[in-house]
Structure 1
Amino acid sequence: MTPDLTGSTALITGATSGIGKATADQLAALGAHVIVSGRDKTRGDAVVAGIRAAGGTADFVSADLNDEDSVRNLASRAAEAGGGHVDILVNSGGIFPFGATADTPTEQIDEVFAVNVKAPYLLVAALAPAMAERGHGAIVNVATMVSAIGMTGMGLYGSSKAALVLLTKSWAAEFGPAGVRVNAVSPGPTRTEGTLPMGEALDQLAAGAPAGRAGQPEEIAAAISFLVTDQASFVHGVVLPVDGGRLAV
């Protein structure tokens, strides 16, 4: 039976491109009212227009995940746009600079942890208690395979997502008894607008896994969609690898 998210509101950060956009499209197709969030209004409006053209329901709410006030405002505006409630939160927005540890500016450390850790933390703090009061809700955090393995140049990004993995498990323990399921996906190399600058390096990174190729945003989104629906009703606190089989080698 096809999952039905009719009547639910889903807030997706980083939804103007890549995995976030693919997730917005898929959840809207399942009937959710999708709140598309990102910094670029032009791209956000385009995503919303595409969803509406396909028969779905969506609104755009701009937010800068590096700005605490903007994140807090996002939570309240998303609830307002959703008729007073947010039932699904997908923390897809993130930044992933790569580079040597000794060459990393302090301000970049602060920015990565603000966007990749602090923003999801603030959104969960603002939205999960209301989900718990209603007795249902689903949260999915987008992590990365390099949160669990050491790779040269990826320490800053990987460590921020490793923090998000631990928070996923902590939030599952905290909110799960009240009916709020919290899980994460751990993508491998995925071909998105954000990874275009990696060029052939992305394919080389993906080549070592059984799939032998980079993933597509829609493939990651499909895993997220599963985790937010009742098909995953007994799934709490997992980190689901969607990495082309990296764990097998």
Structure 2
Amino acid sequence: MSAELSGSTALVTGGTSGIGRATAVTLAGLGAHVVLSGRDAGRGEQVVETIRAAGGKADFVAADLTDAASARALADRARELGGQVDVLVNNAGIFPTGPTADTAEADFDRVYATNVKAPYFLVAALAPDMAARGRGAIVNVSTMVATRGMAGMALYGSSKAAIELMTKAWAAEFGPSGVRVNAISPGPTRTEGTAAFGDGLDELASAGPAGRVAAPAEMAAAIAFLVTEASSFVQGAVLPVDGGRLAV
């Protein structure tokens, strides 16, 4: 186990599956005490057991991040478990697709509550403390459709476009105090959540130079880069991890 993040605490939202799970395992492998959140306690405890079995340190906090109160409660609980939060990975998100005309207002509100409001107030709760200590790292998980117009993706894509702008604004706000804020923009990735897309995921991936779907661990590796000193001069960046889709 690497000790690169030894002595630090990392909060990973949506850490019970997919990219979040892979990120929790990766950061724990670098020595961080990982606090992972999610809605499924059973899956969350499985991730914790996996990390602990490998010699790492992890705790699970059940959280349904939909408003400022739930974000603040999670931040408080993470501090109770880890003493302080040095790394925040805003990964939790929902990604419904479909025609604009068929979108119910309740669905619109839930997407923005989960994908925009919760990360906003988690940063509001945690970044000032990082700034006061003079160090910290925040990574937001976006998507390639935040900048690429695709039919049926207006709701999800626009919520992640907001995340990308907030990434840059937070870098400007907190960067001078030593807090680095960046994002990754994943391409097609095979997770429990994207299984519903079936062959469509492979078709989307085939259009990129890599010609394949990514594994969650490949996204986790990019996140690990952005929270460690290897990226010490990277701030306000949105890193495409999309198999080259940005190029075509």
Matched-pair contact (CA < 8 Å) for 2:67–2:117: no
Distance in 1 between the 2:34 and 2:77 partners? 13
Give the gaps of 5 or more residues in structure 2: none
Match of 1:19 in 2: 19
Match of 2:46 in 1: 46
Match of 2:32 in 1: 32
Match of 2:166 in 1: 167
Offset from partner CA, 1:185-239 (integer Å, 9 cap, x none) = 0000100000001100111111100011111100011000000001111000000
SS at match of 1:140: strand
Deviation of 1:72 (Å) = 1.4
Matched-pair contact (CA < 8 Å) for 1:3–1:231: no
1:130-141 counterparts in 2 under 5 A? 130-141=129-140
Query: What code does the residue aligned with 2:209 have?
Result: P
Moved over 3 A (4+): none
SS at match of 2:94: coil
1:1-249 counterparts in 2 under 5 A? 4-83=4-83, 85-249=84-248
Offset from partner CA, 1:72-103 (integer Å, 9 cap, x none) = 100100011002x1000000000000000000
Distance in 2 between the 1:96 and 1:187 partners? 13
Which deviates more from structure 2 when the two are superposed, residues 196-205 or residues 61-70? 61-70
Offset from partner CA, 1:98-142 (integer Å, 9 cap, x none) = 000000000000000000000000000000000000000000000
Matched-pair contact (CA < 8 Å) for 2:206–2:212: yes
Q: TM-score, normalised by structure 2?
A: 0.98
Query: What code does the residue aligned with 1:94 have?
Result: G
Distance in 2 between the 1:154 and 1:55 partners? 41
Give the gaps of 5 or more residues in structure 1: none
Which deviates more from structure 2 when the two are superposed, residues 65-74 or residues 205-214? 65-74
Deviation of 1:243 (Å) = 0.2
Q: How many residues align?
A: 247
Which deviates more from structure 2 when the two are superposed, residues 69-78 or residues 11-20? 69-78
Distance 1:221 1:167, change over 3 A: same
Matched-pair contact (CA < 8 Å) for 2:38–2:61: yes
Deviation of 1:68 (Å) = 3.4
Query: What code does the residue aligned with 2:61 have?
Result: V
Query: What code does the residue aligned with 2:81 have?
Result: A
Distance in 2 between the 1:171 and 1:47 partners? 30
Distance in 2 between the 1:179 and 1:103 partners? 44
Distance in 2 between the 1:69 and 1:139 partners? 20
Distance in 2 between the 1:185 and 1:3 partners? 23
Aligned-residue CA RMSD (Å): 0.8
